[in-house]
Structure 1
Amino acid sequence: MKKPLLFWAGLLCLSPTLQAQTAPSTAISAETPYAADFAAAYRQYPEIPRGMLEAVAYTQTHIRHISADEQPSCTGMPLPFGVMGLVAEGKNYFRANLPLVASLSGVSEEEIKASPRSNILAYAAAYAKLAAKRKLTAEEPARHLPVLIALSELPLQKDAVSNYALDSHLYSVVTFLAKPENRQRYHFSDYRLNLPAIFGANYRILSAGSTRVSNEGVEGDGRRYNPDGSAQSRLESTDYGPAVTDFTTCNYSGRGGVAVTHYAIHTVQGTYAGCISWFKNCSSQVSAHYVVRSSDGQVTQMVSEANKAWHIGSENPYTIGTEHEGYVNDASWYTTAMYSSSAALARDIVGSGYGISGLRAFYGAATTGTYSTGACVKIKGHQHYPNQTHTDPGVNWNWEYFYTLVNNAPTVSMLSAASGYVYDAGGSAGNYPDDVRQSQLIAPTGATSVSLSFSSFDLESGYDHLLVFNGSSNQAPLLGKFSGTTVPGTLTASSGKMFLELRSDCATTRPGFAARWTSTGTSSCPADTYEANETLSAGATIGVNVNNSAYICPTGDVDWYRFTSSSTNNNIRITLSTLPLDYDLELYNAGGTLLYSSTQASTTDESIVYNGAPAATYFVKVYGYNGNTSASSYTLRVSTQASAWLVARDGATYASRSSKATPTQPLVLMTNPVEAGSKAWLTVSGYNGPAELSLRNAQGQPVGASIHTELAADQPLGYAVPPSLQPGVYFVTVQLRTHVEYLRLLVQ
């Protein structure tokens, strides 16, 4: 079923199934934006590394032509022009790079503004001229950073913040060139770019989940940004720990005793790096508390929450504001990473004691205009505040999705009977209260469909809503969103599960609703004491060192479990056994990040080992490969102990050779995962003698020099992992006298 397609795929535990799942993300479209114009530029100017023009264009505009009729930024930042995002007038702060490009290329500024092709070719001509002066070749894009700096609009001031903003721009360009999917889509070579080597110690900050800016400099990932690339120090944000801090020294004031009661969402109408730099410009007279990057959701804090940022005019005194990189009429900037990061920031603000409830986040339709939602809605867009003219974040911001991310842990009432009655939070007789978020999951055992018929319905029209989903959560397809007094027709969930969510605002209650559900299906699925547990948030609690029996049944069933590890017995082994069909196993942290998976073929037991696991809550997911279901049970066991597990050989924890061992061959095991700069421990059984160790990346390319050593049976050997390694999957070849072992190495 899951035999390796290629040798390297086998070493890295990849399967035909996994490759099929990832294929859509790397599919090449028939035509990329302005492909003919970029191709003409590379033909005319071979000094430019292929992909470089697209990298700059994507960083600046997502490869979209910005015309003069684009909506201006609510921050006052100057708008760029064209596909390459060139600034005509820097407002005495940014460098005007459009006149520079015009001068170097010989193309008029007006033509560069008006024509996407002229914009691209003029930038390419300017780039080629600067590259030729430095005698740069297209084969070494890492040496082209001086050209990118020369053609950027960002100021060249010698303070840490200005340097950080410029480095952030360069990081975005180089990261674009390093991504395999971009190489495939835009047809350029693998330049083997080593980002940690390019950006040095500052790489940790540039790639951090969030950063913080202050008068003292820029910090992120526990390090201080250094323009010289050397000094490091740890300093966390006083407001939002994950943020890089880059506090502006101006463009803010005190709140004058006014309490924070609201949170505002903005769109920059420009880039992340440009916004950070603009807020540091004391002549701009604008700022926001935070800025969020599109590509990976990095957050930079610019103003302390205790102070008043200047982002929303007359509403500044009582608001906290966050700018999001991008443009209101280009949905591609609003990435999953940006939504997730922005929602995490909003949850932090909700929990910071201001009295801002996440349940009062706006979840209505996105619009192009401005209108005031009233004071009840606490988390909303710039366009939703009174006395405003700007319409960000605009029609492309997904408010419903953002609402569910902010309120990501609802309490769900489970209804598993074949039929029954369901009511609003006020019950069968009373009104529902204010500020309600009531979640109910109707999931009859073995049901193939669920139908809901209302006998009464009365919600405050336009303000309170009932949302009904065809599935086990509010991420399932929406069957309807209802308000007012019109009784909905009969609703049917073809999935066999129906999720209901009632939301009410801060004023005016009504009688609510009453409805009866019925279901159809089979009773062939045995009773499962853990159901319904189809989502991470609904994961059933299980103990450690005990067996748990459950079922993947009916079709589409997925089982989630949660357990907590201790600081003493912090070595975890998870096994999935007595499998009736091919089932798979995954381990997640409390934040929903996949840590490990086990995908053995057929009914082979699945096993995951996590040695040295921090004391925390973890989640286990069990599901049928290719939709497998069965009325026969499986056994799940979470085992913990004080000593490390040393015998796992399934590829999820200890990587073993790709070929099958004979009984007489030595066996080499390696501990996983490890951090760059630390040691992985090798243990060999049945062998004493010399060995040669070499490290390779996921493409099979050597990383560093080979190491000659001596191995002794059952004596652990520390293998030093290079500190410059990026997180990812690698493998170590161990050449013995008898044969070669291939060990997978997971670097965190």
Structure 2
Amino acid sequence: MIKPLLLWVGLLGLSPTLSAQTEPAARQAIGAATPYAAEFAAAYQQYPTVPRGVLEAVAYTQTHMRHISPNEPTSCTGMPLPSGVMGLFADGKGYFRENLRLVAKLSGIAEERIVEEPGSNIRAYAAAYAQLLEQLQLPADDVARHQPVLIALSELPLAPDEVNGFARGSHLYSVLSFLASPENQQRYRFPDYQLDLPAIFGANYRVLSAGSTEVSARGVQGGGQQFDPSGSTYSVVASTDYGPAITDLTTCNYSSRSGTAVTHYAIHTVQGTYAGCISWFKNCSAQVSAHYVVRSSDGQVTQMVTEANKAWHIGSENPYTIGTEHEGYVDDASWYTTAMYSSSAALARDIVGSGYGISGLRTFYGAATTGTFSTGGCVKIKGHQHYPNQTHTDPGVNWNWEKFYTLVNNAPTVSTLTAASGTVYDAGGAAGNYGDDVRQCQLIAPTGATSVSLTFSAFDLESGYDHLLVFNGSNNQAPLIGKYSGTTNPGTLTASSGKMFLEFRSDCATTRPGFAAAWSSTGGSTGCPTDSYESNGTLATAPAIGVNVNNVAYICPAGDVDWYKFTSSSTNNNLNITLTNVPVDYDMELYNAAGTLLYSSTQPGTTAESIVYNGAPAATYYVKVYGYNNNTSTSAYTLRVATQSVAWRAAGSALVAASSTAELERPAVKMTNPVAVGEQTWLTVTGYEGPAELGLRDTQGRPVGESTHAEFRAGQPLGYTLPTGLRPGIYLVRVQLDTHVQTLKLLVQ
């Protein structure tokens, strides 16, 4: 528990008499690189009872040691702005204590000078601090006992409620944590005061140091405990929305959403401190709030309003948004720490996974700017400045949106291509347009390569909205080679590291043909096993294979395609072509001698592929085996062409003989197209009656929703209801019949 704070009625009437002790010669000046180092050094010399480091700790907590001028942008929360390096308040808007007046009275320095001059601001605070130490008869070297002075000189209200108690505790925790840091002790040249923070804050230490907190009518919770400024037994309470958050829900400054669905998430900057913001949201006259507040130093999160309710943070856009305030100032990038980004992104991922339908891929990743501009409804996670009808410009030009996007979407699926050369395409493949809301990551990492070159033969992305990012290394944290959009061909790009990472992103609307590019490498080798059928990369070069025997080969390097040919007799004219021992996702197709596609099999993952063609005319046929999305492997696959005199029929996973002449027909499936979101598409089939399995895939071949079992009847269309929550775009409908699999392209509008 925090030691009892000494508060007194006559504080404002204290005499400005100051200590006149001299500076000990052994103490060293703060390093010249420290902001306002000379001013801090002069203040310590004039007021030696002020412990070294305290002024920097308060200044860092309040302003990150930056002189806040009257021209600073105002807060979108309406919270008043402080003044100077020490963050003193002249106007508390009837809520915060106006500590500028107190500091001026205790120091004898005019308020105007304190506001305008950084040196006067620091010196005045030091004078006030020394005066209070003397009045309270506190030992200068026992910083842990200086908590009453720190609170007396802060702007935070002295109200006895738990939230303001937590705000005051947060202020003390930030100041004392700064002083307890060995890194700060070395940088700012102050001694180790041996501060035992768990002992100083007692049971509340777990709440104050927790990763996140939540404010509610029940009090403040965090770290599995409830904050208790009075020292009573704490209780264990779970957060209602964001599990790690400390709960400190405000009792005012929010309202019902009145049935409006949450669809967006807003990023704000406080223009002030974490503790001040938490306290301000408890001020019922403020008429403002946000759902969460994030601390700069360690990323602690405090929840102020439940997500089910409407916080008052973004004016006309409140009903459909969740909002989070970030401690700091838009003009000072130092507040946007790694801890803050990581914590804020974890909170955003929690919101993405909470069933609101907010996709992490809809996070803004454009350039940080000053001013305001509306991105439109397509971008779901964005700054205050990106919403319509706004005047505030937070989080501003210093917020790293690309970094935040990467942290929110921190687990992408990456396809690794290890061949010495090959071809890459966008998510739509060689012939189709890419889809909406795509994030496609490909790592070109040829074995032993010292450099990789990528030459584009086609490039057509929606300009300004869909982008290809290319990095010189193994991931998207490597140096950026370039970010490309529109129709200007990037030409040839080179990664000197021997690895090239491609990240393709599309937004929620307007698709284009995409890109195609061939890569080559130097310094490495293919690393592919010997394949006796090579080269067989085209129909014209297909080698002959026998029937009813196993043929073992490899898809390697990436981009490799294997063609084979065989001949069907007039007696054994029922064909069953299987692809087994599939090491990665491979697909298979059957063609006639004219190059016309007859059948295809595109099972996902390492599922075996199978094509059945009953009653095949005696002729030469061609089988194509290829890696889905350029998949490759140094492990072998097995291709077998089986023929027999009676027809094959699928029964579960096995194939058995059948004799019905109807089964010798080649079924053909047709489908109504396009279809609106939430409606049905209708399928008809000729030459077939019986069971079917219907499944939906995205343009990258990934299943969307569960498969559906159905039954085709002669002359009757079959309705296929699309999975719920489907977004507009291009999809593939996979129809599994007893005889073969057919894949149809579907446009969902």
Coarse TM-score class (shorter-chain normalised): 0.5 to 0.7
Gaps of 5+ in 1: 1-27, 528-748
Local SS of the residue matching 2:376: coil
Partner of 2:681: none
CA-to-partner distance for each residue in 1:124-161, whole Å, 9 max, x for gaps? 11111001111223211101000001000000000110
Partners of 1:87 and 1:165 in 2: how far apart? 16
The residue type equivalent to 2:152 in the other structure is A
Taking structure 2 as the reference length, the TM-score comes to 0.66
Partners of 1:395 and 1:169 in 2: how far apart? 27
Residue correspondence of structure 1 range 291-306 to structure 2 within 5 A = 291-306=293-308
The residue type equivalent to 2:267 in the other structure is I
Partners of 2:156 and 2:480 in 1: how far apart? 44
Structure 1's 117 and 525: CA in aligned 2 closer, same or farther, altered over 3 A?
farther
The residue type equivalent to 2:185 in the other structure is R
Q: Which structure has the larger Rg over C-alpha atoms?
A: 2
Task: Kindly state the Cα deviation for residue 523 of structure 1 after the two structures are TM-superposed.
Answer: 4.4
Partners of 1:460 and 1:80 in 2: how far apart? 45
Aligned length: 500
Local SS of the residue matching 1:441: strand
Partner of 1:626: none
Residue correspondence of structure 1 range 149-164 to structure 2 within 5 A = 149-164=151-166
Partner of 2:438: 436
Q: Which moved more, 1:327-336 or 1:225-234?
A: 225-234
From 73, 76, 82, the equivalent of 1:74 is 76
The 8 Å contact of residues 49 and 137 in structure 1, kept in 2 or not, is answered as: no
Taking structure 1 as the reference length, the TM-score comes to 0.66
Partner of 1:114: 116
Partners of 2:477 and 2:499 in 1: how far apart? 13
Local SS of the residue matching 1:447: coil
Partner of 2:559: none
Local SS of the residue matching 2:235: coil
From 216, 219, 228, the equivalent of 2:218 is 216
The residue type equivalent to 1:513 in the other structure is F
Partner of 1:376: 378
The 8 Å contact of residues 57 and 175 in structure 2, kept in 1 or not, is answered as: yes
Local SS of the residue matching 1:409: coil
Local SS of the residue matching 1:439: strand
Partners of 2:255 and 2:335 in 1: how far apart? 30
The residue type equivalent to 2:490 in the other structure is P
Residue correspondence of structure 1 range 459-478 to structure 2 within 5 A = 459-478=461-480
The residue type equivalent to 1:310 in the other structure is W
Partner of 1:710: none
Partners of 2:80 and 2:133 in 1: how far apart? 27
CA-to-partner distance for each residue in 1:527-565, whole Å, 9 max, x for gaps? 9xxxxxxxxxxxxxxxxxxxxxxxxxxxxxxxxxxxxxx
Is 1:143 the counterpart of 2:112 in the alignment? no
The 8 Å contact of residues 47 and 136 in structure 1, kept in 2 or not, is answered as: no
Partners of 1:30 and 1:162 in 2: how far apart? 37
Partner of 2:279: 277
The 8 Å contact of residues 446 and 525 in structure 2, kept in 1 or not, is answered as: no
Gaps of 5+ in 2: 1-29, 530-749
From 259, 262, 281, the equivalent of 1:260 is 262
Partners of 2:446 and 2:356 in 1: how far apart? 41
From 332, 337, 340, the equivalent of 1:338 is 340
Partners of 1:323 and 1:119 in 2: how far apart? 27
Partner of 1:250: 252
From 312, 324, 327, the equivalent of 1:325 is 327
The residue type equivalent to 1:414 in the other structure is T
Task: Kindly state the Cα deviation for residue 489 of structure 1 after the two structures are TM-superposed.
Answer: 2.2
From 227, 230, 238, the equivalent of 1:228 is 230
The 8 Å contact of residues 201 and 230 in structure 1, kept in 2 or not, is answered as: no
CA-to-partner distance for each residue in 1:91-144, whole Å, 9 max, x for gaps? 111000001101111111111000000000001111110011112232111010
Partners of 1:384 and 1:62 in 2: how far apart? 26
Partners of 1:141 and 1:230 in 2: how far apart? 25
CA-to-partner distance for each residue in 1:351-395, whole Å, 9 max, x for gaps? 000000000000000000100000000000000000000000000
Task: Kindly state the Cα deviation for residue 230 of structure 1 after the two structures are TM-superposed.
Answer: 3.4
Partner of 1:88: 90
Partner of 1:199: 201
- What is the Cα-based RMSD across aligned positions, in Å? 1.2
The 8 Å contact of residues 447 and 526 in structure 2, kept in 1 or not, is answered as: no
Structure 1's 89 and 426: CA in aligned 2 closer, same or farther, altered over 3 A?
same
The 8 Å contact of residues 81 and 87 in structure 1, kept in 2 or not, is answered as: yes
The residue type equivalent to 1:185 in the other structure is R
The residue type equivalent to 1:286 in the other structure is V
Partners of 1:261 and 1:164 in 2: how far apart? 31
Partner of 1:177: 179
The residue type equivalent to 1:59 in the other structure is T
Partner of 1:128: 130
Partners of 1:432 and 1:526 in 2: how far apart? 30
Partner of 1:21: none
Task: Kindly state the Cα deviation for residue 231 of structure 1 after the two structures are TM-superposed.
Answer: 1.5
Is 1:503 the counterpart of 2:477 in the alignment? no
Local SS of the residue matching 1:87: coil
Structure 1's 525 and 38: CA in aligned 2 closer, same or farther, altered over 3 A?
farther
Partner of 1:490: 492
The residue type equivalent to 1:153 in the other structure is E
Task: Kindly state the Cα deviation for residue 232 of structure 1 after the two structures are TM-superposed.
Answer: 1.4
Structure 1's 397 and 140: CA in aligned 2 closer, same or farther, altered over 3 A?
same
Task: Kindly state the Cα deviation for residue 522 of structure 1 after the two structures are TM-superposed.
Answer: 3.5
The 8 Å contact of residues 310 and 318 in structure 2, kept in 1 or not, is answered as: yes
Partners of 2:38 and 2:189 in 1: how far apart? 12
Partner of 1:351: 353
The 8 Å contact of residues 473 and 500 in structure 2, kept in 1 or not, is answered as: yes
Is 1:42 the counterpart of 2:39 in the alignment? no
Task: Kindly state the Cα deviation for residue 248 of structure 1 after the two structures are TM-superposed.
Answer: 0.3
The 8 Å contact of residues 446 and 524 in structure 2, kept in 1 or not, is answered as: no
Partners of 1:304 and 1:66 in 2: how far apart? 32
The 8 Å contact of residues 48 and 137 in structure 1, kept in 2 or not, is answered as: no
Local SS of the residue matching 1:129: helix
Local SS of the residue matching 1:481: strand
Task: Kindly state the Cα deviation for residue 236 of structure 1 after the two structures are TM-superposed.
Answer: 1.1
CA-to-partner distance for each residue in 1:500-541, whole Å, 9 max, x for gaps? 0110001000000000000011449999xxxxxxxxxxxxxx
Task: Kindly state the Cα deviation for residue 335 of structure 1 after the two structures are TM-superposed.
Answer: 0.2
CA-to-partner distance for each residue in 1:464-495, whole Å, 9 max, x for gaps? 00000011111111000000000002110111
Partner of 1:385: 387
Structure 1's 32 and 255: CA in aligned 2 closer, same or farther, altered over 3 A?
same
The residue type equivalent to 1:150 in the other structure is A
The residue type equivalent to 2:180 in the other structure is A
Partners of 2:222 and 2:306 in 1: how far apart? 16
Partners of 2:38 and 2:67 in 1: how far apart? 15
Partners of 2:302 and 2:43 in 1: how far apart? 35
The 8 Å contact of residues 50 and 138 in structure 1, kept in 2 or not, is answered as: no
Partners of 1:424 and 1:525 in 2: how far apart? 25
Task: Kindly state the Cα deviation for residue 30 of structure 1 after the two structures are TM-superposed.
Answer: 4.3
Partner of 1:661: none
Residue correspondence of structure 1 range 23-38 to structure 2 within 5 A = 30-38=32-40
The 8 Å contact of residues 421 and 514 in structure 1, kept in 2 or not, is answered as: yes
The residue type equivalent to 2:167 in the other structure is A
Percent of paired sites with the same residue: 80
Partners of 1:132 and 1:416 in 2: how far apart? 72
Task: Kindly state the Cα deviation for residue 202 of structure 1 after the two structures are TM-superposed.
Answer: 0.2
Partner of 2:364: 362
The 8 Å contact of residues 469 and 478 in structure 1, kept in 2 or not, is answered as: yes
Partner of 2:419: 417
Partners of 1:490 and 1:297 in 2: how far apart? 42
Partner of 2:594: none
Partners of 2:345 and 2:479 in 1: how far apart? 21
Partners of 2:455 and 2:96 in 1: how far apart? 61
The 8 Å contact of residues 362 and 380 in structure 1, kept in 2 or not, is answered as: yes
From 517, 528, 542, the equivalent of 1:515 is 517
